[in-house]
Amino acid sequence: MHTTESAAARYADIETWSTAQLVSGMIDSQREGLDAVAAAATALARAVDAIADRLGSTGRLIYLGAGTSGRIGAQDGAELPPTFNWPYERAIALMAGGPGALLRAVENAEDSLTAAAESLDALGINPADAVIGIAASGNTPYVTAGLEHARNKGALTVGIINNPGGTVGKAAEIEVLLATGAEFLAGSTRMKAGTAQKVALNVISTGVMIRLGYVYRGLMVEMRPTNAKLRERSVRMVMELTGADEATVRATLAQAGGVIKLATVMLLLKLDRTGGEAALERAGGNLRKALA
């Protein structure tokens, strides 16, 4: 079986290929990464449900990785607050070598058997938390040790790997195997293994947010309108959800402090801001429940 470290015969002479052949070959390889994610759909669904059940109102989603895998995890976590208004303190990325390793490689950091546990203890890891460990090789010591420690502390653990049979999958309660096989450049897991990891994390985090009620009618109703583009998007969203005209929506959003779901409740239930906030509070912040 080919692994991410394998040198595939079909790529043995790529330096002699034309540029058009190189581009086509790399694109075809990326498609294999998507196929690997599709094959892991059952495990991904299990991870989504387990994480959503675990997080509740206080749990944190913690990403654990080294190198490319760690950077992909950090990117996924960084998108949750602006997209879903998920609290920054509940989306945490732990990177082998520390935050500086996000931009510059730190040699040997991934081999530490103690650093991840120390970082998790500093966070006060507990049973309300969910930890996603990402490792293309499936054997990264930093990730394996971190998952083992988190699991011993009662946290939910998910291991995302690209090679079967490694220690990371065994350390996690839920293993997600993205069997991407040999890379276009042998061992360069920033390529299709990284693509597969990115897609898998998109699926997990977005699925969790939907299960937790952060999406309504396919719209990002928790989105933070922090710039002009997003403010215009929020106007279009509220218009679509309520059927109100643009002027009314803009005025209501202003009264609601730019909060999309609050403006929607105010318009559909004909409430002022105080009444709308009370309706959302009774529904635990869930727009669908508040409108029901």
- Tell me which amino acid residue 5 is: E
Token pair listed for 69: 């895998």
Strands 130-135, 156-161: pairing is parallel
- How far is Cα 80 from Cα 77, in angstroms, rounded to an integer? 6
Strands 130-135, 174-177: pairing is unpaired
- How far is Cα 225 from Cα 237, in angstroms, rounded to an integer? 11
At residue 65, φ and ψ (nearest 5 deg) are -165, 175
- Tell me which amino acid residue 230 is: L
Handedness of CA 251, 255, 260, 261 (dihedral sign): negative
| DSSP assignment letter at 32 | H
Catalytic entry in 32, 79, 173, 240: 79
Q: Is 110 labeled as catalytic in the residue annotation?
A: yes
Q: Is 240 labeled as catalytic in the residue annotation?
A: no
Catalytic entry in 110, 148, 175, 222: 110
Strands of the sheet with 130-135, listed across from one edge? 91-95, 61-65, 130-135, 156-161, 174-177
| Residue (of 1, 45, 17, 7) closest to 174 by Cα position | 45
What lies within 8 Å, CB to CB, of 206 at 6+ separation is none
Handedness of CA 33, 34, 35, 41 (dihedral sign): positive
Token pair listed for 165: 């049979």
Tokens 């059927």 identify what position?
Answer: 243
Tokens 């581009």 identify what position?
Answer: 23
* Residues noted as catalytic: 79, 110
